[in-house]
Amino acid sequence: MNVTIDLKTLLIALVLIALIVLIIYAIIMVRKLLVTLEHTNTILEDVEVVSSIASERSQDVNNIISNVSCSVADLSDALKGNQGTVSAIASIVKSAASIKGMMSKDKED
């Protein structure tokens, strides 16, 4: 029994086999990509939570710093005689309350 295969038929068969292998390889890559995308989504959600917490804390710290700077300015004015002692003490109490409020928020979280 003799089988004759011409070169054109052999090349077409090799191209078809290569195409099938390429399709299988692409399917495997897409599956792995989907798994990676799922992990990326969870990481992005975690980053969003952390950045929102950092934003809240930075606003709290900004308010505390502004209260403390006002208190220091009021105390400085009081020492110069430009303001009453009562309002300077009230400013100090206000800044202390801001710091205490921030500390209690940290303990709750």
Q: Provide the residue ranges of all domains of the chain, joining segments of one domain with +.
A: 52-104
CA distance 92 to 72: 8
pTM for the full predicted model: 0.45
Q: What are 61's two structure tokens? A: 């710290």
Q: Which residues contact 105 (CB under 8 A, 6 or more apart)?
A: 60
For residue 11, the 8-state DSSP code is: H
Write the pLDDT tens digit of every residue in 86-101. Answer: 676 777 777 778 777 7
Task: Print the SS3 string covering 24-81.
Answer: HHHHHHHHHHHHHHHHHHHHHHHHHHHHHHHHHHHHHHHHHHHHHHHHHHHHHHHHHC
* pLDDT tens, N- to C-terminus, the chain (109 residues): 777 888 999 999 999 999 999 999 999 999 999 888 888 888 888 889 889 888 888 888 888 888 778 777 777 776 666 556 667 677 777 777 877 777 776 666 5
